[in-house]
Amino acid sequence: MFKLKLDSVKFVSPKKMMFRVMLWLMVSCTVLLLIPPNVLAVLALDKFVPEHAQFVGLGLIISIAYFLSQLINLGLDESIRHLSDKRVIETIEAKVNLLDPAERALVREFFLQGATILTLPQNETAVKSLLNACILEKLGNERHYAIQGPTADYKIAMKARMYLNRDVLRLPAGEPSQEEMQSLIKARPQFLNGLVQNRKHAA
C-alpha cells in the first residue's frame, strides 16, 4: 500500500503541480473578488477580503500571467514544430529530385523486398545521405561487426513516403517481368547484394 502511494506521488510532475496550484489560485482569487458582500458575511470573510484585497488581486494577476505565459509557450512550440516540419519537407523534396543511382536503389529495395524495415550498414554513403535528408529513419538495434562494420535497422520516414512513387524509384508499372526484375537486382549497390545473400544464408 505504501509503495502504491509513493508511485502515485511520482506520477505528479512539478509542471502538473504548478498548473493545479495556479488554477486553484486563479479560481479562489476570482471568487473572493466577485462574491457579493452578503455572502462574504455569511462565510465570515467580510473583514478578511477587504483587509487583504491587494494580496488577492496580486494572486489573481500572478495566476493569469502564468496561464498567459503557458499559452504563449504553446504558440511558440507549435510555430517551431510547423517550421521544423516545413524544413523537413523541403529537404525531402530537394533530395527526391536529386537521388543518385545508389540512393534510388537503396530506397527501391524496401519495395522489392516488401519490407517495412531493413538492416543496413551505417557507414555507407547512401545510407548516411538518405538519413540526413530525412528519407530514412533509424530505429536502433545497432550491431557492430569486425568485418562488415556497424549496422542498424532503418525504415522509410513517414513524411517521405508520399514522394517515393514508381516514377521516382523507376519501378515498372504493375508486376515486374523476369527481365525487369533481373535489371533491378543488377542495379543494387554492392553492399545490398551482400546483405541479401547473408539474409538468405541465415534463413
Both 21 and 64 in one domain: the answer is yes
Domain count, the chain: 2
Question: Which tens digits make up the pLDDT trace of 39-52?
Answer: 777 777 777 778 78
- The HSE-up count of residue 173 (CA atoms within 13 Å, CB side) is 0
Both 105 and 159 in one domain: the answer is yes
In a domain, 111, yes or no: yes
Q: Which domain does 141 fall in, by range?
A: 101-202
Average pLDDT over residues 121-148: 86
The mean pLDDT value of the chain amounts to 82
Average pLDDT over residues 78-103: 91
Band (pLDDT 50/70/90 cuts) for residue 196 is low
Backbone φ/ψ region at 44: left (φ over 0), alpha (ψ -120 to 50), beta: left
Q: Exposed (0-12), middle (13-18) or buried (19+): which is 73, by Cβ within 10 Å?
A: exposed
In a domain, 43, yes or no: yes
For residues 97 and 160, give the distance between their C-alpha atoms in angstroms, rounded to a whole number. 12
Our measurement of the distance from residue 128's CA atom to the centroid of its chain's CA atoms, rounded to an integer in Å, reads 20
Sheet containing 151-156: give its strands across.
117-121, 151-156, 136-143
The pLDDT of residue 131 is 93
> pLDDT at residue 116 above 80?
yes
CATH value at residue 190: 1.10.10
Q: Domain end: 68, 89, 115, which one?
A: 68
The pLDDT of residue 195 is 60
Query: Do residues 152 and 140 lie in contact, with contact meaning Cβ atoms separated by under 8 Å?
Result: yes
Both 118 and 184 in one domain: the answer is yes
Both 198 and 157 in one domain: the answer is yes
Band (pLDDT 50/70/90 cuts) for residue 132 is very high
pTM of the model: 0.63
Both 47 and 122 in one domain: the answer is no
